[in-house]
Structure 1
Amino acid sequence: MIIGLFEAHLPVSKLEASIAFYSGLGLELDHCVDNKLAFLWIEKDKSWLGLWETDQVDLDYHPSIRHIAFQVTLQGLKKSIDWLNQKGYQPREAFGFQPIEPFVLPHEHYATAKVHFNDPDGNSLEFICKLDNPKRITERMYLSEWEKQTNLTK
């Protein structure tokens, strides 16, 4: 029945500034409603992000309500820290890893490589890609170490 995620929503304090921020990440504005809500395509005609202008942006952070992970290619992820810095966006520490390169969180049959950063309102954002884990590695590590251990050279 379910074939994907169509939309996710975040609170923002300044809609126009947030539209500019997310457009800078490559999302495409589709439409606005009453100058308080904007929808931007994450993947054209497949999934979008709703941004709601509100005075209550300062809700305590919790990943269940203020987190979006954008799927990227491994090549894109490897370039993401420099790409974010060039745009003036700051990658941040996550899971004990400093934003010096992507890091990997392994699971039994696969792993995820990721980089975390925030939007102007402190909403947690992430670039993520799925990796194979044929050696069933369980240790968390930076991507360069993962590539050495798995002989991943993509």
Structure 2
Amino acid sequence: MIKGLYEAHLPVKDLKRSIAFYKKLGLELSHIHDHHLAFFWLKKGESWLGLWETQQVELDYHPSIRHVAFHVTLESLRSSVSWLKERQIAPREAFGFMPHEPFVMAHDGIAHAKIHFYDPDGNSLEFICKIPNPTNIVGRMYLSEWETIYS
């Protein structure tokens, strides 16, 4: 039945500022609706992100309502910290990891590498990719540590 995620939505205070920010991330603007809603393609023709301009952006943060994770390649993730900084976007601390490089969370035979950052309204964003975990390591570590184990 379900084949993937079609859309996700985030609240923003200034739609023009947010459009500029998400363009810096490389997303393609699909359309603007009624001057308060913008849609960006995540994967053209398959999924998109909606940004709703509202005065109620200051909702208490909880990852279930103000978080979007963007799937990226491992190669892109390796350079993500410098890529974000080149665009004046600061990676942020997450799960106790400082933002100087991506980190890995591994459990139950699955591992993901990731880096977190915020949009201008404090919505939590993440670049993430699944990585091989052939020996079923469980735990958390920086990506460089992970790659030392599997090099």
TM-score (norm 1): 0.96
Shift of 1:150: 2.0
Distance (whole Å) between structure 2 residues aligned to residue 3 and residue 83 of structure 1:
31
Distance (whole Å) between structure 2 residues aligned to residue 107 and residue 128 of structure 1:
15
After TM superposition, the structure 1 = structure 2 runs for residues 56-67 of structure 1, keeping only pairs within 5 Å, are: 56-67=56-67
Partner of 1:27: 27
Cα displacement string for residues 112-150 of structure 1 (whole angstroms, at most 9, x for unaligned residues): 000000000000000000011111111210001001112
What is the DSSP-based 3-state SS (H/G/I as helix, E as strand, rest coil) of the residue aligned with 2:79? helix
Distance (whole Å) between structure 2 residues aligned to residue 2 and residue 33 of structure 1:
27
- Unaligned runs of 5+ residues in structure 2 are none
Q: CA RMSD in A?
A: 0.6
Superposition misfits of 4+ residues, deviation over 4 angstroms: none
Partner of 1:118: 118
Cα displacement string for residues 53-76 of structure 1 (whole angstroms, at most 9, x for unaligned residues): 000000000000000000000000
Distance (whole Å) between structure 1 residues aligned to residue 117 and residue 21 of structure 2:
12
Q: What is the aligned residue count?
A: 151
Partner of 1:142: 142
Equivalent pair of 1:111/1:131 in contact (CA under 8 Å): yes
Identity of aligned residues (%): 64
Partner of 2:8: 8
Shift of 1:29: 0.6
TM-score (norm 2): 0.98
Distance (whole Å) between structure 2 residues aligned to residue 150 and residue 140 of structure 1:
15
